[in-house]
Structure 1
Amino acid sequence: MQVTETLNTGLKREIQVVVPAKDMEARLLERLQDAKGKVRINGFRPGKVPVNHLRKVYGKSVMAEVVNEILSNSTGSIIKERGEKAAMQPEVKMTEDESEAEKILAGQADFEFSIAYEVIPPIEIQDVSGISVTREVYDVPESEIDEQAMRVAESARTYTPKDGKAETGDRVTMDYVGKVDGEPFEGGADSGANIVIGSNQFIPGFEDQLVGAKAGDEKVVEVTFPEQYQAAHLAGKAATFDVKVSEIASPEAIELNDEVAKSLGLDSLERLREIIKGQLESQFGTVTRQKVKRQLLDALDETYKFEAPSKLVEAEFTNIWNQVTRDLESAGKTFTDEDTTEEEARAEYQRLAERRVRLGLVLAEIGDKAGVQVSDEEMQRALMETVRRYPGQEQQVYDFYRKNPAALAEFRAPLFEEKVVDHLMTLINVTDKKVSKEELLADDEADEAKAEAASEKEAAPKKKAAPKKKAKAAESEAVAEDGAE
C-alpha cells in the first residue's frame, strides 16, 4: 500500500492511497482459499472446489468485500499512524468510472482512493490558576418560601357557588367562542372553562369584563391580542368572545397548615416548605452556575486562540441558524423586527459557532488530560431524566434510546462538559458574592427582553407565555462533543 500526502494546508489534509493490483490479487486469493473448504457447489465434493472456479463464481463479490475492508480499516489506521485526529468523518473518494471499477474487481488494476479530512489542531493546555470568577449567590428568604407555598396552595383552594355578581377573586365557569372579523378561529373555543378574575391567566382585558357577570348571563367580550402574542396570525388583532356564564363561585380562605399540605399529597406543611425551598434553591443555583460557567468560558476563549476545523464550525453554524430561523418563523418575525439584517445575523452566529467549536475542543482536551470520565450510571440517570419528560410515553422513549446507541451517546457530551467545568472550578479562583434576586436574574432578564417569541400554541385567549431565548443567549456555549469522541 502506497500512501502519499497530496495536500497539507492549514488543517486540511488529503492522502492518496494506492493498493497495487498484485496485493489486491493476493488478498482475493487468500479469501477464496479460505472459502474453499466452506462453500458447497453442486458437482464438487466439500473442500475440492478449484480456486479458479470459485473465482469465476464469486470473484467480483469477494473482491468487493476486499475493497470495503481496505476502506474501513485503512482510513483510520493511516490517520492514526500520522499522529493526527480527524475533526469529522473523513471523506473517501474512489473512481466512479465503471470500466475502471470492473478492472479493479477483476484484479487487473491498482485500487486507488483518496482520503480528505481536517485535523483537530494540537492544543497545549494552559495554566488556569490565574482565572478568577465571581459566583453570585442568592439566599432564598423564608418569606419567599412562604409566598411560593401560598401560590402552590392556590391549586388546592376551594370555591363555593354563589348567587350574585362576579367580583375580583371569584371563579367564573363559562363556555366561549372567539372570533376575528366575525369568524371563529382555531383554538379559540372552550366549554366549562374556569377562570379566576384577577389571575391574569387570559389576555389583557378579558377578565375585567367578567366583573359583574351572573350565572346564566351571555355577553360579548371585546379584546385586542398583544402585538407579541405567540400565535402570529392573531398578534395585534381585535377579537370578540361570545361568553355564556354557567356559574359564579367565591373563594374560600386559605391557611397554610398541615391540612393544606395533605390535600396536595404531602405529610405536613414543613415537608411542603422543604420541597419548595429545594426547588427554589435549585432554580437559582442553576442560574448561579450558568453565570459562573459563562465567565469561565469567556476566560478560556481569551486564552485559547487557534483555527477551528471549518467542517465542525459549519455544522455548528447550521444547527444554530436552523434554530434561529425556526424561532423567527414561529414568532412571525423577521430580522428587521430584531433590529438587524440577515447578513449581520449570519456574521454574529458564525462567530458564535466558531467560539463553541473552539471551546468544545479545549474542554475535550482538558477533560482528556484530566482523565474525566462519564460513567454508565451517569448516562443511565440522564436517560431516565429525559424519559420522565415524556409522561405516558416513557417506555417508547426508553426503548428508542436503548436501541439506538448513537442517540444514547448524545447524552455523553453535555455530561462530559459539565464534569470538565467542575474540574476547572477546583483549579480557578472563585469568589462568592451574596446578591439579591434582582441582581442574580438581571442578565437573564436582559436576555429575555431580546428573546424570540415562544413556539406557536393553540390560540385560546390565554396569557402570552414567556418567550424562548435566542440561540446566542444560551448559557451553555461549548459543544464538548466536537472533540470528545
Structure 2
Amino acid sequence: MQVTETLNEGLKRAYDIVVTADELDAKVTEKLVEAQPEIEMKGFRKGKVPLPLLKKQFGERLLGEAMQETIDGAMSKHFEDSGERPALQPEVKMTNEDWKEGDDVQVAMSYEALPEIPEVDLSQISLDRPVVKADDAAVDEALANLAETAQDFKARRKGSKAKDGDQVVIDFVGKVDGEAFEGGSAEDYPLVLGSNSFIPGFEEQLVGVKAGEEKAVEVSFPEEYQAPNLAGKAAVFDCTVKEVKEPVAAEVDDELAKKFGAEDLAALKAQIAERLEAEYAQAARAVVKRALLDKLDELVQFDLPPSLVEAEAKQIAHQLWHEENPDVQGHDHPEIETTEEHSKLAERRVRLGLLLAEMGQKAEITVTDAEMTQAIMNQARQYPGQERQFFEFVQQNQQMQQQLRAPIFEDKVVDHVIDQATVTETEMSKDDLQKAVEALDEE
C-alpha cells in the first residue's frame, strides 16, 4: 500500500492511497481462511472445501468488503502515525472509476485537521465573582408572594356583587335538552371566578351575582370535550349562589410556614434566604462563565478548520432566523444566507469549543453515567406520560446523547478552569446582579 501526500496547506490535507491487487487478494484469502472451518458445500465435509473453490464461489462478494476494510485500515494507520485528528469525517473517493477485478485501487482522501491547541496558564486568569446576600427586603417580598399563593377567602358584605377573582359557593344542575346529565351537578361548590376551571363562558356569567341569587348559565361544550355525549352540545346550568367571598392573602405567620412544610416562620425565612442565595449564585456563575470565555477568547488564537466555522455559522443563522420567524415550525423556507456577524460568532464558538475540549481531555474530565441519567430524566419531565419512550429514544440516538452530554462536559470544564484561576468575590446588590445577567443577553 502506498500513501502519498498531495496537499498540506494550513489545516487542509490530501493524500493518494494505492491498494495493490495483491493486497486485496491476500485480504480476501484471509477472510476465506477465517470462515473455512464453518463452510459446508455439497460433495465436501464441513470445513474441508478447498480455498480455490471458496474463492470462486465467494471471492467476488468478499472483494468489496476487503476493499473497504483495507482503505479504512490505511486511514486509521495514517491518523495513528501522524497524530492528526480530522475536524470532520474525511472525504474519500476512488479515482480509477474504470476499476475492474485484478487492478490496483486508487483512492483520494482529503480532510481538515484539527489545529494544535496552545497551553493556557490558568493561574494568570483573574475573575470577579459577584456575591449577593438575601436581605430582609428580598425575603419579605418572597414571603408576600407565598402568602398570595396561599390566599384564603372571606365572605363579602351581604348584598355584595361577585367580582372577577372572587370565590362563589354554588349549587348547580346542568341540563342538555332539558335533561340533567351525569356529572353535571354539585352542591356547595367553591368556584373562583376567572380561574378558567369551568367550561368557557361559564364563570363570566356569574360575575355580578349576589348571595341568594339564582342564575341560569347558558354555555356550549367545546367540540373536543372529553365526554363524546356532551361535545358540542348546548347546556343550561341552573345555579344557586350561596356565598360570595373575596380573596384575602394569608397572614405571614407560623401557620403560613407550616403550610409550606417549615416548623415556624423563622425556619421558613431561613429556607427562603437559602433558596434566594442559590438562585443568586446560579446567576453569578453565568456572569463568571461569560467573563472567563471572554478572557480565553482574548488569550488564545489558533487556526480554525473552515468547515467547522462554516457549519457553525449556518447553524447560528438558521437558529436566529427561526427566532425571528416563530410561526415557521419546519424547514420549508428559503435558503438562509450567513452574514459576517454569523461567521464572527461562529469563529468564537468553534475556538472556545475546541479549547475547552482540549482542556477537558487533558484534565481527564468525563461525564458519568449518573450525570447522563439525571440529564435524561430532566428532559423526560417535559414529556409527561412518555418518559419511558423518551429514555428508549435517547438510548438509540447517538446524536441526542451528544446533545445532552456536551453542556454537562462544558460546565465541568468551566468549573475546573475557574478552580485554577484567581477569583475575587465582590459583593453587589440583587439589582446590579440582575443588570449583569441582562447584559449577557444583549451581547
Normalised to the residue count of structure 1, the TM-score between the two structures is 0.69
In structure 2, the partner of 1:93 is: 93
Change (3 A) 1:154 1:71: farther
CA distance in 2, matches of 1:271, 1:17: 73
Give 1:184's aligned residue. Answer: none
- Deviation string 1:348-391 (CA, Å, 9 cap, x unpaired) is 12111110110111112222223333333333333333334443
Tell me how far 1:155 sits from its aligned partner. 2.5
Separation of aligned partners in 2, 1:194 and 1:61: 76
Equivalent residue for 1:384, pick from 377, 394, 398: 377
Structure 1 moving runs of 4+ over 6 Å: 215-218
1:3–1:58 distance in 2 versus 1, CA, 3 Å: same
Q: Is the 8 A contact 1:156 1:264 kept in 2?
A: no
Cα distance between partner residues in 1 of 2:104 and 2:76: 21
Distance in 1 (CA, whole Å) between partners of 2:155 and 2:43 is: 94
1:110 to partner: Cα distance:
0.9
Q: Secondary structure at the match of 2:123?
A: coil
Q: Which residue of 2 aligns with 1:483?
A: none
Per-residue CA deviation, residues 421-458 of structure 1 (Å, 9 max, x unaligned), is: 2222233222211111111111433566x6xxxxxxxx
Listed one character per residue, the Cα deviations across residues 40-97 of structure 1 (whole Å, up to 9, x for unaligned) are 1223222232222222221122112212222333323212211211112222222584
Q: Which residue in the other structure is 1:63 paired with?
A: 63
Larger Rg: 2
Q: How does 1:169-208 map to 2 (within 5 A)?
A: 170=166, 194-195=193-194
Q: Which residue of 1 aligns with 2:401?
A: 408
Query: Structure 1 residue 9 and structure 2 residue 9: aligned?
Result: yes
Structure 1 partner of 2:150? 156
Match of 1:398 in 2: 391
Look up the match of 1:281: 277
- 1:313 maps onto 2:309 in alignment: yes
Residue 287 of structure 2 aligns to which amino acid in structure 1?
A: K
Q: Provide the C-alpha distance between the structure 1 equivalents of 2:264 and 2:380, rounded to a whole number of angstroms.
A: 30
Q: Does 1:251 align with 2:250?
A: no
Distance in 1 of aligned mates of 2:391 and 2:44: 52
Instruction: Show the counterpart of 2:140.
Output: 146
Partner of 1:43: 43
SS at match of 1:307: coil
Tell me the CA shift for residue 160 of structure 1: 4.8
Q: Secondary structure at the match of 1:5?
A: strand
What is the SS of the residue equivalent to 2:128? strand
Deviation at 1:20, TM superposition (A): 0.5
**What is the correspondence of 1:61-460 to structure 2 with a 5 Å cutoff?**
61-95=61-95, 97=97, 99-100=98-99, 103=100, 106=101, 108-160=102-154, 162=156, 164-166=160-162, 170=166, 194-195=193-194, 213-214=208-209, 249-264=245-260, 269=265, 272-330=268-326, 346-446=339-439
The aligned counterpart of 1:54 is: 54
CA contact (8 A) 2:131 2:425 kept: yes
> Judging changes above 3 Å, is the alpha-carbon distance between structure 1 residues 55 and 266 closer, same or farther for their aligned structure 2 residues?
farther
Q: Aligned in 2, Cα 1:266/1:111: closer, same or farther, shift over 3 Å?
A: farther
SS of structure 2 residue aligned to 1:386: helix
1:297: how far off? 1.0
Please tell me whether the aligned partners of residues 88 and 118 of structure 1 are also in contact (alpha carbons under 8 angstroms): yes
One-letter amino acid of the counterpart of residue 161, structure 2: K
**3-state SS, counterpart of residue 195 of structure 1:** coil
Paired amino acid for 2:434: L
User: Aligned in 2, Cα 1:419/1:161: closer, same or farther, shift over 3 Å?
Assistant: same
2:423 is paired with a residue of what secondary structure? strand
| Structure-2 change in CA distance of 1:360 and 1:438 (3 Å) | same
Distance 1:160 1:394 in 2: 42
Corresponding residue for residue 30 of structure 1: 30
- 1:140-171: per-residue Cα shift (whole Å, max 9, x none)? 11331232133133222233575533568646
Cα pair 1:153 1:260 within 8 Å, conserved = yes
Quote the Cα distance in structure 2 between the aligned partners of 1:194 and 1:316: 51
Letter in 2 for 1:399: E
1:268, CA displacement in angstroms?
A: 5.1
Secondary structure at 2:426's aligned position in 1? strand
Deviation of residue 130 (structure 1)? 2.7
Length, aligned pairs only: 381
SS in structure 2 at match of 1:164: coil
Q: Does the CA contact (< 8 Å) of 2:19 and 2:71 recur in 1?
A: no
Compared CA separation, residues 349 and 166, structure 1 to 2 (3 A) = farther
Q: Note if contact 1:20-1:111 (Cα within 8 Å) is conserved in structure 2.
A: yes
Q: Structure 2 length normalisation: TM-score?
A: 0.75
AA at the equivalent of 2:153: Y
For structure 1, the residue ranges without an aligned partner over 5 or more in a row are 174-191, 197-208, 219-243, 333-341, 451-472, 474-485
Alignment-mate amino acid for residue 302 of structure 1: E
**Structure 2: any 5+ residue segments left out of the alignment?**
170-190, 196-203, 218-236, 329-335
CA 1:70/1:262 → structure 2, altered by over 3 Å: closer, same or farther? farther
- Tell me the distance in 2 between the aligned counterparts of 1:395 and 1:266: 34
Amino acid at match of 1:360: G
